[in-house]
């Protein structure tokens, strides 16, 4: 079951919950706006759903409520920032604006960021740059997390290591948003909570056997999530994961060496300007052509035509604009509890 | 069966075969040197093995024998080149040197290249930059090839879309070299030639069923190679493939729109200088730490400890230096035939 809500009402609720937990208003405006934009593109796991997680982090001082990032290095084209555990949506908004301005000047720009707090839905961020004609790559890891074993190993060591790339096409941006493991920590927790095994063997138990059982996460020693490719060709997902940790931690000169123990995000962000290569029109001509060829590809199942990453986000966004923003029941329950705690009234669902 | 040869003897043979087919000496020196370096790191499929494929391409004029690339755009940090179908090893050597010099000056640099000929083993190229302290990313596609269907589709559309990243560590570089499909076109051809099915369902027949049968490549309509993740989570490999085609073709303003029909390579090359982020020592501290943790991870099979990408290349290189360069029998047969055609004598194997 889901309900739809007015986007302004949801934004106001999210913003007020965040400011109520101590976040300064200018930052709460940005975080709330991006969370609602995330819900609008249909990524309900990373939208207003995050507020009940952020509120206790703000109250405990684990998510910084005020101040700014530190610039550790700035070579114009390359930068290194310390996020000081500020809200990731705020840090990434500053980082994106900086990198887009630099890319407009130099053709491209990249930034490593250490010690941001959670940066939310990567597609909601890459989409901002793609809508403005840029190619935008974001990778993130949490050096305090160990959930994925190296291929051939049994002990969790890496995070799922999400990465995303957004880029322009004529109809709407292509939004690739994936990670180096088959599934994610939040999906594993969801399956543990609901008692439902995975449909496929996406987990690895602590003896190195693939399993559908999410509860191997809770054994001692701990099991792990399999890398992309699983038992069959998981060396490919492992390689992807190593690349993300290198970009986000080695370039940031902060990572597993420092063994941080709090929830944090290391980030690598890069923005490229197609105008500085072969031009934006030529760029779109290629992406439009390939996207059309993908969508026209004869599907395995006639009821499920081939989708290009970003197609579902565009549909969800159109539906959000015309009918209101979807909040799924599980999220609604948690957000409502959070609102009650804060003495705030939940908005009324549309229709 | 394999035999080992003196590296200078192999280099001379490769160089003479290439010049004999019309390639000018300065370029043949570079191509032959990189082919032997590829054999030295154990990638026997892409070393001197390629010469019997390059010779007819040179003779037919499909691989350009003389001249240079064209610079289409140069914005210092970003560049676009036309490779004029020159030998890819030569084009990439020029491109790498240019990007390393620019990265040293600006912190990073990237280049899209259209219409190179085959660029060989990506690791042999990224290794050059990694040995000099840089992070080097290379992706390549062939807009004339259609071998991998989009996830959910049945018609081959994309190339396997290899990508590689090499980066510094204290003992030896990490060399990730992978692609967006489970297996490669050359592996499929090898299995067709030997009549051996794949051990796992890595192919997709033209009706959309996964299969171990490599000969689905030869049906009408053609079958395809499954993307990384296969039927289970192939949307992740599909996304990776789209990203490679975007970087190599959309940024290069040349790709499937132009529908080229000859063997060619589009390339995206990027070099980053850790000194322009958090410093090279700090970079290596992180990569050394993670590499050590991977290697110390309790393995599923005690006889097969966890390897970091690049470990096998380092061992192969050490063995090549002390015992000579391995040439496998299948390669030896083809190279010997090529030598006979050219009136050249094969070197004598070592011991």
Rounded CA separation A21/A55 (Å): 6
Cα torsion A310, A313, A317, A319 to 10°: value is 120
Alpha-carbon Rg for chain A in angstroms:
20
Looking at the structure, tell me whether residues A18 and A134 fall in a common domain: no
Mean per-residue pLDDT over chain B, rounded: 97
Looking at the structure, tell me whether residues A275 and A162 fall in a common domain: yes
CB-CB under 8 Å, B151 with A106: no
Can you say whether residue B176 is alpha, beta or left, with left for phi > 0 and alpha for psi between -120 and 50 degrees? beta
Cα torsion B252, B253, B257, B262 to 10°: value is -40
CB-CB under 8 Å, A229 with B298: no
What percentage of chain B has pLDDT greater than the value 70?
100
Would residue B301 count as lying in a domain?
no
What percentage of chain B has pLDDT greater than the value 90?
97
CA separation, residue A165 to residues A42, A129, A207, B343 (Å):
17, 10, 35, 52
Q: How many CB pairs under 8 A join A and B?
A: 274
Contacts of A40 (CB under 8 A, 6+ apart): A7, A47, A316, A317, A320, A321, A325
Predicted local confidence at residue B263, as pLDDT: 87
Predicted local confidence at residue B72, as pLDDT: 98
Query: Considering only alpha carbons, which residue of chain A is nearest residue B201?
Result: A232
Would residue A201 count as lying in a domain?
no
Would residue A125 count as lying in a domain?
yes
Mutate which of B72, B76, B77 to test chain A, going by most A C-beta atoms within 10 A?
B77
Rounded CA separation B163/A209 (Å): 29
pLDDT in tens, B19-46: 999 999 999 999 999 999 999 999 999 9
Would residue A199 count as lying in a domain?
no
Q: Which DSSP letter does residue A199 get? A: S
Q: At what angle do helices A88-106 and A25-40 cross, to 10 degrees?
A: 80
DSSP string covering B303-328:
TS----TTHHHHHHHHHHHHH-EEEE
Rounded CA separation B222/B154 (Å): 9
The pLDDT of B62-78, averaged and rounded, is 98
DSSP H/E element including B185? helix B185-194
Looking at the structure, tell me whether residues A105 and A139 fall in a common domain: yes
Rounded CA separation A254/A217 (Å): 26
Count of the separate structural domains present in chain B: 1
Cα torsion B292, B293, B295, B300 to 10°: value is 180
Mutate which of B78, B256, B305 to test chain A, going by most A C-beta atoms within 10 A?
B78
Predicted local confidence at residue B2, as pLDDT: 85
Would residue B316 count as lying in a domain?
no
CATH number for the domain including A30?
Answer: 1.10.1530.10
Neighbours of B255 (CB within 10 A): 27
Neighbours of B62 (CB within 10 A): 14
Predicted local confidence at residue B351, as pLDDT: 72
Predicted local confidence at residue A351, as pLDDT: 72
Tokens of A254: 């902060």
pLDDT in tens, B86-128: 999 999 999 999 999 999 999 999 999 999 999 999 999 999 9
| Ranges of chain A with pLDDT below 50 | none
Domain span at A56: 1-63+315-351
**Residue B1 pLDDT greater than 90, yes or no:** no
CB-CB under 8 Å, A306 with B276: no
Name every chain B residue with its beta carbon within 8 A of the beta carbon of A135. Answer: 246-247, 251
CA distance A102 to chain B (A): 11
Would residue B299 count as lying in a domain?
no
Would residue A286 count as lying in a domain?
no
Would residue B302 count as lying in a domain?
no
Nearest Cα neighbor of A132 from A39, A271, A313, A319 is A271
Cis geometry, peptide bond prior to residue B126 (ω within 30 degrees of 0): no
- Sign for the pseudo-dihedral over CA of A187, A191, A194, A199: positive
CA distance A167 to chain B (A): 8
Which residues on neighbouring strands pair with residue A167, listed in sequence order? A174
Q: Which residue has the higher pLDDT, B163 or A330?
A: B163
Looking at the structure, tell me whether residues A37 and A167 fall in a common domain: no
């Amino acid at each position: 079951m889901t309900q739809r809500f007015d986007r302004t009402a949801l934004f106001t609720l999210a913003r007020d919950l965040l400011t109520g937990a101590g976040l300064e208003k200018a930052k709460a405006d940005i975080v709330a706006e991006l969370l609602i934009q995330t819900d609008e593109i249909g990524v309900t796991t990373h939208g207003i759903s995050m507020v009940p997680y952020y509120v206790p982090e703000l109250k405990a001082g684990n998510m910084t409520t005020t101040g700014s990032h530190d610039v550790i290095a700035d070579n114009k084209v390359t930068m290194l920032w310390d996020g000081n555990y500020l809200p990731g949506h705020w840090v990434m908004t500053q980082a994106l604006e900086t990198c887009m301005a630099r890319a407009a000047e130099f053709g491209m720009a990249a930034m490593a960021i250490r010690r941001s707090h959670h940066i939310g839905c990567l597609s909601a961020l890459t989409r901002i740059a793609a809508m403005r004609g840029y190619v935008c790559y974001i990778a993130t890891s949490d050096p305090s997390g160990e959930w994925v074993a190296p291929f051939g190993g049994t002990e969790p060591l890496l995070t799922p290591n999400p990465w995303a790339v957004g880029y322009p096409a004529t109809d709407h941006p292509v939004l690739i948003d994936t990670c180096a493991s088959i599934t994610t920590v939040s999906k594993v927790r969801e399956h543990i909570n609901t008692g439902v095994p995975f449909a496929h063997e996406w987990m690895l138990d602590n003896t190195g056997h693939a399993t559908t059982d999410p509860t191997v996460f809770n054994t001692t020693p701990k099991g792990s999530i399999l890398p992309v490719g699983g038992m069959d060709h998981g060396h490919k997902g492992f390689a992807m994961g190593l690349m993300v940790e290198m970009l986000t931690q080695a370039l940031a000169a902060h990572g597993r060496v420092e063994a941080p123990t709090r929830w944090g995000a290391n980030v690598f962000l890069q923005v490229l300007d197609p105008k500085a290569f072969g031009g934006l029109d030529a760029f779109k001509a290629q992406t439009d052509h390939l996207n059309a060829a993908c969508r026209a590809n004869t599907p395995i199942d006639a009821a499920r035509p081939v989708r290009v990453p970003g197609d579902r986000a565009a549909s969800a966004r159109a539906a959000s604009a015309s009918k209101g923003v979807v909040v799924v029941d599980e999220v609604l329950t948690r957000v409502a509890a959070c609102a009650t705690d804060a003495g705030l009234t939940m908005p009324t669902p549309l229709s």
